[in-house]
Amino acid sequence: DTGVSQDPRHKITKRGQNVTFRCDPISEHNRLYWYRQTLGQGPEFLTYFQNEAQLEKSRLLSDRFSAERPKGSFSTLEIQRTEQGDSAMYLCASSLAESTFHSGNTIYFGEGSWLTVV
């Protein structure tokens, strides 16, 4: 399977606990993105990396959220002291940085990690 893979697919946690999600992008892709999707809404941008550098963080990404991409390969998204409002699907995506959309580049999404905070 050469697509974007995410782990775990589902996570139920108690409020106040920490959770971590992992994303493995398509192997040659140097850009990696995290999005969040809640019920009835489209995905919302959280942050993105080019190689190991985190180049932008959305204002949706509170201080309790931290993302890393050591060595520019896989990425982790950690949520500390989870709240019920964090319940959502967390989507990872990847793309190539060297080509634009006009040249046929696109963003490929993983299957998502469902988080339920109880």
Partner 1 sequence: DQQVKQNSPSLSVQEGRISILNCDYTNSMFDYFLWYKKYPAEGPTFLISISSIKDKNEDGRFTVFLNKSAKHLSLHIVPSQPGDSAVYFCAATLSNDYKLSFGAGTTVTVRA
> Partners of 11 in the beta sheet?
115
Q: Is the peptide bond before 25 cis (omega within 30 degrees of 0)?
A: no
Of 74 and 108, which CB lies nearer to partner 1 in the complex structure? 108
Indicate the burial class of 23 (C-beta count within 10 angstroms; 0-12, 13-18, 19 or more). buried
* Site size for partner 1 (CB under 8 A): 27
CB of 16 to partner 1, least distance (A): 26
The reply to whether 102 sits near partner 1 by the rule CB under 8 A is yes
Measure the CA angle with vertex 93, ends 87 and 98; round to 5°: 155
C-alpha Rg value of the chain to the nearest Å: 14
The contact pattern for partner 1, residues 10-49, with x = CB under 8 A and - = no contact, is: ---------------------x-x-x----xxxxxx--x-
Given 18, 63, 114, 117, the residue binding partner 1 (CB under 8 A): 114
Contact region with partner 1 (CB under 8 A), list: 14-22, 59-67, 72-80, 89-97? 89-97
